[in-house]
Amino acid sequence: MGAALLKTPDKLENILRALVKEVGEPFDIPISVKIRILEDRESTLALVRRLSKTGIKCLSVHCRTTPMRPREPVIRDYLAGIADICHEAGISCIVNGDVRGRFDLAPLMEKYGVDGAMIARAAESNTSCFAATKPGPAGLVDWKTVAREYTNLCAQFDNHHSNTKYCLLQMIPGKDKLYQTVSKAKSVAEMDSALDAAISQSNTTTPIAISTKTTPTTTSTVTFKTPTSTTSNTSTASSEELHLPKRPREESLSETPQKRPLAVNAA
């Protein structure tokens, strides 16, 4: 459905209300929605006001309009108003679009009052962006190290080779000759040996160090605010920490299933 739902706000609102009633409330599962901004500030804020009354717990905003292409710069002008409406309704507000890494989050929270950020392409390119404290390659784990860790995980979980290849290509700079080699690879073994050769040539790999805060269970920590009340007093927002467990998948699956937020995509 995606962004088409933004053209039918009645339908979008009905879907959210139904999800909250049939799934969210009975099973205590937070319902969230992701939208794009509309053509102007007033219509965007009007939509957010409607959605904020449906019982959802989180709203993510991709700061582009539907026709805007990914290369076009995001429009963040409406964010402060959106975050205010969300907080008045006790809903978290997550910003999306051109967030390059962890270092971008604090200024966005400070300037617009958002509670967190969602990252897509920067994470495809280098997952260490979630720990990056400064922009550019200097803030990231070397891409070959990340790529090697990724292919190891793919092998561990028997990931389909075409998906491995697609994701690996997002990590390799287009100008690197490895890009062409991996593009033409017909098997995981071919990709692996090409990556091995590139790593041994450059010999620049460093140990992965994603965690910014080490706990006994080794977790990566991202700090974000969540509104604690459904009143209009946003100053009661508290700090919480989102712990991202770094454990083998089998171990996670063997545990009691966790309740996960259910997200509607209107972006």
Ligand X SMILES: Cc1cc2nc3c(=O)[nH]c(=O)nc-3n(C[C@H](O)[C@H](O)[C@H](O)COP(=O)(O)O)c2cc1C
Note the residues at the interface with ligand X (CB under 6 A). Answer: 34, 62, 70, 96-99, 119-122, 124, 265, 267
Return the number of the residue (51 or 119) whose C-beta is nearest ligand X: 119
- What's the closest the beta carbon of residue 22 comes to ligand X, in angstroms? 22
Cβ-contact 219, 212 below 8 angstroms: no
Q: Give CA 59 to chain center in angstroms.
A: 13
Q: d(Cα 203, Cα 196) in Å, to the nearest integer?
A: 10
Q: Tell me how far, at minimum, the Cβ of 170 lies from ligand X, in Å.
A: 8
State in angstroms the smallest separation of the CB of 266 from ligand X.
Answer: 8
| Secondary structure letter of residue 137 according to DSSP | G
> By the 8 A CB rule, do 238 and 225 touch?
yes
Task: Tokens 């400070």: give the residue.
Answer: 110
**Nearest distance from C-beta of residue 213 to ligand X, angstroms:** 23
List of E strands, 29-165: 31-36, 58-62, 92-96, 116-118
DSSP SS3 for 230: coil
Q: Which amino acid is at 164?
A: T
- The residue among 111 and 121 lying less far from ligand X, judged by its C-beta, is 121
Closest CA to 221 of 253, 245, 238, 239: 245
**C-beta of 99 vs 147, nearer to ligand X:** 99
Q: How far is the CB of 155 from ligand X (least distance, A)?
A: 22
